Amino acid sequence: MKKVLTIAGSDSSGGAGIQADIKTFSAHLVYGMSVITSVTAQNTKGVLAAFDLPKEFIEMQIRAIYEDIDVDAVKIGMLSSSEIIKTVAKALTYYNAKNIVLDPVMVSKSGFKLLKDEAISTLVEDLIPICTIITPNIDEASLMAGIKIKNIEDVERACQRIYEFGAENVLIKGGHLDGEPIDVLYDGKDFTYFKGKRIISKNTHGTGCTLSSAIACNLALSYSIVDAVKRSKEYIQGAIENSFSIGYGVGPIDHFF
């Protein structure tokens, strides 16, 4: 059984964060583990509040796992501050963690800031260099690369810029651009383009969390980067197609469609 870890925030409503990650792990038949960085009070309408765990306790959770269990892949989600980012980067470096997938979570779809502005530079300097793949959306990629992304050429330039920060692979999710969605993967040499079809659904809570977790699962299962992204995109597409309504706001996707 492959063992996959998520280091991320908890979503009380179960659609995003740690809960989405663990559901994704189960759907991929891998063993899921979690290091919780922050606890959010949220529902389908938005995030009411977030409470960060002390960095010492985050470090302790990582230590507990890596000193006992051989982790095949790790997905990183919400890390809200510079000190938490530094703690996670240092611990994963110390334990020589492999297959690190970073979803650079910044703002929830409902507009709640999940990462402090001043921490973006820490993410770039301390965490990106140890990542196997980083999966920003257009807004996150624009902020990290310092490029206002309007078209596919801008996406390619942003991929190259973020790659230069030290990630082994960069996947920019193009869903927020006009037209049919296209995601672009860059490995420092070649671009690979993943065309999708736009699915009209109001229930898309946790899609970013789920895609990055699926990539971590597929890397743990020994697929190449290109195949891991391809399979994960097929998975997220099915999960969105089967999304459903709970509550009054943006509902979840179906991890077990």
Which positions touch ligand PLP (CB under 6 A)? 8-9, 11, 16-17, 40, 42, 77-78, 105, 108-110, 114, 205-209
**Least CB distance from residue 221 to ligand PLP, whole Å?**
22
Active site (annotated) includes residue 93: no
Shortest distance (Å) from residue 172 CB to ligand PLP: 16
**40: annotated active-site residue:** no
Residue with smaller CB distance to ligand PLP, 41 or 188? 41
Q: Which of 131, 159, 209, 217 is catalytic?
A: 209
Is 122 a residue of the active site?
no
Compare residues 151 and 176 and give the one whose CB is closer to ligand PLP: 176
Please, which residue, 6 or 122, has the CB nearer to ligand PLP? Answer: 6
Q: Is 208 a catalytic residue?
A: yes
Q: Quickly tell me which residue has 């740690």 as its tokens.
A: 18
CB 91 to ligand PLP: min, Å:
19
Q: How far is the CB of 227 from ligand PLP (least distance, A)?
A: 24
CB closer to ligand PLP, 173 vs 205: 205
Catalytic residue among 15, 206, 249, 251: 206
| Residue 206 a catalytic site member | yes
Q: Which residues are catalytic?
A: 173, 204, 206-209
